[in-house]
Structure 1
C-alpha cells in the first residue's frame, strides 16, 4: 500500500507540473525598430526614442545618415547593411524624393518639426549683434573665419545668402567647411558658425547667439515616415503617432526644433 501511494503521488505531481509550465512561457524578445535620421533632427529623434521605449517597451536603434544628397541610398532594404530600416526622419525635400521613388509609405508620413539657421560663437567669446541685416552683415565681414555645413542649409548660405548680401568675394578665403560647424567653432578654427539651430544646440564649447535675420532665414521642415516592407508595421505606426502627439513636444523642443503639432 505505501508503494501504491508513492506512485500515485508522483503521478499527481507530474500532472500538476504541466499547467505550470504552460502558463509560464518564455518571455518574448522586445521588438526593435531601426530608425535612420538626418543630423538636423538627430538629437530630437534620440530623445524621442528613449522616451518611447519607456512608454511602449519598443526599442529603437537610431542611426545618423549622411548628408541629404546621399540619404536615399539608406532607405528600404539596403543590401550593404545587416538590418532592415523601419522608419526614416529627414528634411521635406529628401522625403519628397523618397515618396516619389516608392521607398516609403506615403500614407504614413507625418511632419515633425521646423528648424532655422542660427549663429554660434566659441563659449566665452563676445556676443556679436545679428539682430538686423546691417549688423548681421557687419558681423560676417568682421569675422576672421566663418564655418558652414555641406548640407542643404550650407548650400543655401553659399549659393543665395552670401551672393545676395554681396559677401561671396569678401568671405571666400575665410569660409570653413571641412569639419562639423560646432566643432570648428569650439576648437577655435572658426570665429563664427552658421548652421541649423537643431545641429548646434547640443555642441559643447560653443554659444548659440540666436537666429539669423528673417530676411535671409530659411526654414527646414523635418518629416518622418515608415519604410515600405517594414517587418513591424504596427510598432512603426505607434512611434509615428507618438511623434505628432503632445507627449513628444518637449523632446522635439529640446532637440532645437519647433514642433509642428
Structure 2
C-alpha cells in the first residue's frame, strides 16, 4: 500500500526521518510532497489530495471546515519557533536580548526570509516590533518559499530568519538560536486525514505511529517540540 503525505517545509525534515521506520515496520510505502504553507493550501483547495496532511494548525482547521480534511482526525503534531541562521564558519551574532538582536540586524549587510512560508509571513511583523522595518527594507532578500538558509550559504545574504527546523535542514548553515522571546512566535502544526483518503485506517495507524512519545527525541533533533496528544 502507498500512502501520500502533503506537508509544509518546516515539518519535511522530521517526516523524512520518521518515514523509513514506519515503512520498515509496516511494509507500506509513503510519498511525501512539501511546499510553503500558503502554496500547499492553494494546491489542496485546487483539488490536490492525499491520505495525511501535516500543516499549520490554522490552515488544517480551515481546510477541515471546507470539507477537505476529516475534522475529527485533527490532532497536534509539533511546535516550532523562529531562529537566526548564518553561514558556517562566520561569527555568530549576538541575539541574546531584544536590544542585541535589533543591533545585530541593523549592523547586518543583508537579511533573508521567505514570503509565503509561515515564519516568512511573520518576519515583517517582527521587524515592526523591533522598530526597524523601514531601515531593513533596502537590505532584505526574499524568496517565495523553500529553505531561506540556502540564500545565506550561497552568499546572497548575511542572516537568515526562519523556523528553526528549516534552518537546521540546510547544509553549511549554523543555527545561532531562537530570536528573543519578546519578539518570538510559536508555530503549531497539526496532522489529520484527508476526507477523500481511500486508506483511512492505514493513514490513521501512521498518524498514531508518528505520535509515539518514543519519537520525541527525533523531533527535538530536528528543531521541533513534539506534541504527542490524542485526537481532538
> Quick check: TM above 0.5?
yes
Q: CA deviation at 1:107?
A: 1.2
SS at match of 1:46: helix
Match in the other structure for 2:187: 220
Deviations 1:30-50 (A, max 9, x none): x11011111110111111111
Write the distance in 2 (CA, Å) between the matches of 1:50 and 1:190. Answer: 35
Q: What is aligned with 1:139? A: 104
Deviations 1:50-89 (A, max 9, x none): 1111122221111113x222323433893xx6xx511111
- Which of 92, 100, 104 aligns to 1:127? It is 92
Q: Which aligned pairs between 1:167-182 and structure 2 lie closer than 5 A?
A: 167-178=132-143, 180-182=147-149
| Alignment match, 1:164 | 129
1:199-245 Cα offsets, whole Å, 9 max, x none, are 11120111111000000000000111000121111110101111211
Partner of 1:252: 219
Match of 1:22 in 2: none
Say whether the 8 Å CA contact 2:98–2:180 is kept in structure 1. Answer: yes
- Aligned alpha-carbon RMSD (Å): 1.6
Provide the C-alpha distance between the structure 2 equivalents of 1:123 and 1:116, rounded to a whole number of angstroms.
Answer: 21
Q: Which runs of 5+ in 2 are unaligned?
A: none
Q: How does 1:29-68 map to 2 (within 5 A)?
A: 31-65=1-35, 67-68=36-37
2:68–2:196 Cα contact (<8 Å) kept = no
Matched residue, 1:75: 44
Q: Which runs of 5 or more residues in structure 1 are unaligned?
A: 1-30
Q: TM-score, normalised by structure 1?
A: 0.82
Aligned residues: 225
For the pair 1:231 / 2:198, whether they are aligned, the reply is yes
* Larger radius of gyration between Structure 1 and Structure 2: 1
Structure 1's 173 and 216: CA in aligned 2 closer, same or farther, altered over 3 A?
same
Determine helix, strand or coil for the equivalent of 2:92: coil
* C-alpha distance after superposition, 1:120-150 (max 9, x if no partner): 1111001111011111011001000001111
State the distance in 1 between where 2:42 and 2:118 align: 17
Q: TM-score, normalised by structure 2?
A: 0.92
Partner of 2:65: 100
Q: Is the 8 A contact 1:75 1:88 kept in 2?
A: no
Structure 1 residues 133 and 77 mapped into 2: Cα distance closer, same or farther (>3 Å)? closer
Q: Which 4+ stretches in 1 moved above 3 angstroms?
A: 73-78
Of Structure 1 and Structure 2, the greater strand share is in: 2
CA contact 1:116–1:197 (8 Å) conserved in 2: yes
